[in-house]
Structure 1
Amino acid sequence: MHLFKKIFSKSRAQEGGIFFDTIQKILGFTPDTIDHYKRAFTHRSTNKLDAAGNPLNYERLEFLGDAMLSSVIAAHLFNQVPSGDEGYLTKMRSKIVSREHLNELGRDLHLIDLVESKVLTQHFGENIHGNLFEALVGAIYLDKGYIYCEKFIHNRVIAPYVDIPKLEGKVISYKSLLIEWCQKEKRTFHYDVFEDNGIDAQKFFGVKLSIDNKIIAKARATSKKKAEEIASKRAYFAFQEKINNK
């Protein structure tokens, strides 16, 4: 019986090859249906279709994984913070499953190395890392069900990263925080965005953030959104004492 199990396990690994071995190490358990995981790393640029003619890529799994992450994290917070009201729990969950954090998780696991794509990896946007992590979670749910999915999220997200006291002080979006403060304090604010090519080959955007008609911070980045966030962060530190005492 022991010999049969050994041979069976070996054949399963050979069937999936290096991909199977890598996925198994990431998961911490043996997959039952490797095709779910192959789909989780198939980019839409491959133009693959299933037998019914439906697109065969990770985007639907990404949707499913997002829902599973939200569910497991919500249950964890509900149990761990009995004094937290709905608003508090929602804010804390948002911090844990923020795009920034999911991208960090995907990068740490080197998920982009497993992607099948007709697009060069350097042309992917930053969010590819988080998208793949969500797709992986979705694949786990389809392959093993809720309990395995919950264990994976606990081992890879909750145990190493969820420190509730630290999360309470974590800022997800400096821009949102600054706008909220300006609105409460009846202060005017304005983001002046302009294209800033400079001497770089890559396109950059410059931002000037004004509060009460006075320029408070400037920033430069490869997208308007990033430049606005950087400028907002610099402005936050300029007004930190006033904002934190609001």
Structure 2
Amino acid sequence: MSLIRNILNSRSNEDGNFFLNLKEILGYKPKSKSLYIKAFTHRSMNIKDNDGNAINYERLEFVGDAMLSAVIAAYLFEQVPHGDEGYLTKMRSKVVSREHLNELGKELNLIGLVKSKIPKSNFGNNIHGNLFEALVGAIYLDKGYKFCERFIYERVINPHVDIETLEGKVISYKSLLIEWCQKEKNTFDYEVYEDTGRDELKHFSVKLSINNKVVSKARATSKKKAEEKASKRAFFAFQKQIARRT
């Protein structure tokens, strides 16, 4: 506990606005301050407690992810009585998608509260969603289920969850395209190859073929991103046919 107390004092001395900003986000004064310190401590700080356990937000991410899934699942279950398991699972995935969580983290400017030895400009986009999950985990452990549920309703469900809009939202063009190809018994192939070009970062290029014909191309800094971009371009090329079958 003495180590946590020292970290708290250090954090407060360096950034006196930390808990004031946090209170504005939460709408209440944190009870267990050490939880929120963890929620905004990056692993690059390399801090451990007296038992040698790492002090950072990663374990809180796990708790926050579970709480988001539980609250969203319960909401959808009540709001969509006709939805079967597959439908409800897809809808929940759209709400808690990495893209949406990143948007929520950015909306609250959570990265501004992070303590890290890495320049914030070097972080990937997913840190915004990771911090949001960690914050939700801290809220649950600090104040309990009802407070956590209320926060999720105020920050996620009420402003962002609309059933009709969600039904039309695509979270993975690649999955949608593959599903369509399988239904239509079309063959498909993603040809991936490294493409350094003149860029400083390594890129990957993708050729997407359907029935042995190249239908789209894309490049990105990862194979997954390049495949998704190529799938999105193919989706819009075959949108009318896909709409008739999905």
TM-score by length of 1: 0.91
Residue 35 of structure 2 corresponds to: 36
Aligned residue pairs: how many?
Answer: 234
**Equivalent-residue separation in structure 2 for 1:232 and 1:182 (angstroms):** 12
Residue 135 of structure 1 corresponds to: 134
Equivalent AA in structure 1 for residue 199 of structure 2:
D
Q: Does the alignment pair 1:79 with 2:85?
A: no
SS of 1:245's partner is helix
1:239 CA drift (Å): 0.8
Q: Aligned ranges for residues 73-222 of structure 1 at < 5 Å?
A: 73-222=72-221
**Equivalent-residue separation in structure 1 for 2:237 and 2:148 (angstroms):** 43
Equivalent AA in structure 1 for residue 69 of structure 2:
S
SS of 2:155's partner is helix
Larger displacement relative to structure 2 (112-121 or 151-160): 112-121
Equivalent AA in structure 2 for residue 143 of structure 1:
D
1:14 CA drift (Å): 8.9
Residue 65 of structure 2 corresponds to: 66
**Equivalent-residue separation in structure 2 for 1:117 and 1:16 (angstroms):** 13
Q: Name segments (4+ residues, structure 1) moved above 4 Å.
A: 13-16
Equivalent AA in structure 2 for residue 68 of structure 1:
M
Pair 1:42–1:185, CA change in 2 (3 A): same
**Equivalent-residue separation in structure 1 for 2:99 and 2:32 (angstroms):** 30
**Equivalent-residue separation in structure 1 for 2:53 and 2:160 (angstroms):** 37
Q: Does the Cα contact within 8 Å between 1:208 and 1:219 map onto a contact in 2?
A: yes
Structure 2 spans left out of the alignment, 5+ residues? 1-11
The C-alpha deviation readout for 1:193-214, integer Å capped at 9, x for no partner, is 1222222222222111111111
Residue 24 of structure 1 corresponds to: 23
1:35 CA drift (Å): 1.2
Q: Please report the RMSD computed on the Cα atoms of aligned residues, expressed in angstroms.
A: 1.6
**Equivalent-residue separation in structure 1 for 2:118 and 2:79 (angstroms):** 43
Structure 1 spans left out of the alignment, 5+ residues? 1-12
Residue 8 of structure 1 corresponds to: none
SS of 1:236's partner is helix
SS of 1:116's partner is coil
Q: Does the Cα contact within 8 Å between 1:16 and 1:34 map onto a contact in 2?
A: no
Residue 5 of structure 2 corresponds to: none
Equivalent AA in structure 1 for residue 216 of structure 2:
A
1:122 CA drift (Å): 2.5
Residue 54 of structure 2 corresponds to: 55
Equivalent AA in structure 2 for residue 49 of structure 1:
K
SS of 2:28's partner is coil
The C-alpha deviation readout for 1:3-42, integer Å capped at 9, x for no partner, is xxxxxxxxxx999821101111111221112211110011
The C-alpha deviation readout for 1:162-201, integer Å capped at 9, x for no partner, is 0100100111100011111111211111111122222222
**Equivalent-residue separation in structure 2 for 1:207 and 1:80 (angstroms):** 40
